[in-house]
Amino acid sequence: MREVAVIGVGIHKWGELWDMSIRDMFVTAARNAMDDAGVDHIDSMYIGCMSGGLFAAQEHLASVMADYLGVTPAAAARVETACASAGLAVRLGWMEVMSGLSDIVLVGGVEKMTDITGEEATFALSTAADTEYEGYNGITFPGLYAMMARAHMEKYGTTLEQLSQVAVKNHANGALNPEAQYPFPVTLETVMNSTMVAEPLRLLHCSPITDGAAAVILCPLKLAREKFKDHPLVVITGSGHATDTIALHSREDITTIKAARISAEKAYKMAGVGPADIDFAEVHDCFTIAEIMVTEALGFFEPGKGGPAVEAGETSREGSKPINTSGGLKSKGHPVGATGAAQIIEVTRQLRGEAGKRQLDNPRRGLAQNMGGSGGSSLVHILEVR
């Protein structure tokens, strides 16, 4: 099996992009990644997209994107596992390069979410939950994560202020990210007094609806050393994938995210490291409670200690375990099919020393955790600089 390097990353500013179609966004990100890598062709491509049909009335994205990117007849496939779609695209591309089937593989994701009404977007997103049980009874994702938050608060004493500190931290990081949808800081008071969405979650505890795309170029480490030397080489040393029951009512414990824990354990074992060896991480903060629960599932903090860790500043850029230096889904945005690839981009940039004003001090190993639904699926990747 071959070691796999990230040799190119590409993204664009995310937001409500009225003048860009789903193909425009993906081609822009993909071309940026190819330019960054210095490649003029790809062997194959995996495109993460949760629901191109419901959001943009466009299925068959493999053909559309290969056509408009100008890479036909390269093999292409659309990948879906809800909000973890791009994370799975990365894993599949990594497997293809590792196995020797292809040398240059483009992986990424895209979602065009703002060309429909808020009600239609809510419905499209709800299909990532259990439609027959949760959806039929009117539950939405804010409601699902609100139940998880309330259970965590009751079991561990997690506070509303701790949930709010996640948003404050991530907006502080996002304010330094020129590609973020909401690149501005927010105060604790503003977050805690924002509009109630689903008790205890308020508006600023929730990630936004976003248009955006992100892309990454993978190749064998040996080839990267021979031909692509413009950047410090970043290698994917561990990859883990796991699922859990889709509906909350079927889970043993809704105060933890089992799929995140198991996918992390698989990635740690493959990379030969543990939680203490990770310098920083990008995690799936679709709601602020998700960041707290994921950091516990990844083993960074003991169960119930994720909230106090945020409050103590441990997850800030200056803390012992920086989390979501990009601004996370909360500030950077959350085009659901693209988020997992954008996390890989942030980790890669940090390891290359190319994160600008939000750059950490000489990180050597980072982690990206991407999640589908309320934790029904999870992908974890560990990246190291060589």
Tokens of residue 83, six digits: 């909000």
Residue 161 has pLDDT above 90, yes or no: yes
Characterise 313 by phi-psi region: left (phi > 0), alpha (psi -120 to 50), beta (else): left
Is-cis flag, bond preceding 73, omega within 30?
Answer: yes
Tell me, what's the pLDDT at 294?
Answer: 98
Report d(CA 127, CA 137) in Å as an integer: 13
Cα dihedral 194, 196, 199, 200, rounded to 10, equals: 0
- pTM of the predicted structure, to 2 decimals: 0.98
Tell me, what's the pLDDT at 347?
Answer: 98
- Please list, in sequence order, all residues whose beta carbon lies within 8 angstroms of the beta carbon of residue 202, skipping any fewer than 6 positions away: 191, 192, 193, 194, 195, 196
**Helix (H) or strand (E) run with residue 376 in it:** none
Residue 229 has pLDDT above 90, yes or no: no
Strand, coil or helix: what is 184? coil
Report d(CA 267, CA 134) in Å as an integer: 31
From 12, 205, 284, 334, active-site residue: 334
Tokens of residue 132, six digits: 């027959």
Tell me, what's the pLDDT at 130?
Answer: 96
Residue 231 has pLDDT above 90, yes or no: no
Residue 8 DSSP label: E
Tell me, what's the pLDDT at 40?
Answer: 93
In degrees, to the nearest 5, what angle opens at C-alpha 99 toward C-alphas 345 and 43? Answer: 65
**Helix (H) or strand (E) run with residue 216 in it:** strand 212-220
Q: Give per-residue pLDDT as tens, 83-140.
A: 999 999 999 999 999 999 999 999 999 999 999 999 999 999 999 999 999 999 999 9
Q: Give per-residue pLDDT as tens, 250-300.
A: 999 999 999 999 999 999 999 999 999 999 999 999 999 999 999 999 999
Residue 228 has pLDDT above 90, yes or no: no
Angstrom CA distances, 23 to 31, 66, 210, 211, 337, stand at 12, 10, 15, 11, 13
How many other β-carbons are positioned within 10 Å of the β-carbon of residue 225?
12
H helices within 11-109, ranges in order?
22-37, 52-56, 61-69, 85-99
Tokens of residue 237, six digits: 């040393």
Residue 50 DSSP label: S
- Which amino acid makes up residue 356? G
From 49, 83, 206, 219, active-site residue: 83
Is-cis flag, bond preceding 178, omega within 30?
Answer: no
Asked whether 134 and 319 are in contact (CB, 8 A), the reply is no
Is 334 a known active-site residue? yes
Residues 344-381 as b or e (16 or more Cβ within 10 Å = b): bbbbbbbbbeebeebbbeebebbbbbbbbbbbbbbbbb
pLDDT-derived band at 81 (thresholds 50, 70, 90) equals very high
Q: Give per-residue pLDDT as tens, 300-353.
A: 999 999 999 999 999 999 999 999 999 999 999 999 999 999 999 999 999 999
Asked whether 50 and 111 are in contact (CB, 8 A), the reply is yes
User: With the C-alpha atoms ordered 227, 231, 14, 206, is the resulting torsion angle positive or negative?
Assistant: positive
Residue 222 DSSP label: H
Count of all residues that appear for the chain in the document: 386
Tell me, what's the pLDDT at 94?
Answer: 98
Tell me, what's the pLDDT at 209?
Answer: 96
| Percent of the chain scoring above 70 in pLDDT | 100
Residue 183 has pLDDT above 90, yes or no: yes
Residue 164 has pLDDT above 80, yes or no: yes
**Nearest one of 371, 338, 368, 127 to 258, comparing CA atoms:** 371
**Nearest one of 217, 213, 195, 215 to 204, comparing CA atoms:** 195
Report d(CA 3, CA 26) in Å as an integer: 27
Give the class (CATH, top level) of 4-117+209-234: alpha beta
CATH T-level assignment (fold) for domain 128-206+238-381:
Peroxisomal Thiolase; Chain A, domain 1 (3.40.47)
**Nearest one of 162, 169, 171 to 304, comparing CA atoms:** 162
Tell me, what's the pLDDT at 230?
Answer: 79
DSSP letters, 33-47, are HHHHHT-S--SEEEE
What ranges do the domains of the chain cover? 4-117+209-234, 128-206+238-381
Is 83 a known active-site residue? yes
Average model confidence (pLDDT) for the chain? 97
How many other β-carbons are positioned within 10 Å of the β-carbon of residue 132?
9
Q: What is the mean pLDDT of residues 346-374?
A: 98
Residue 104 DSSP label: S
**136-140, 205-209, 212-216, 219-223: range with lowest mean pLDDT:** 136-140
Domain 4-117+209-234 matches domain 128-206+238-381 at the CATH topology level: yes
Tell me, what's the pLDDT at 208?
Answer: 97
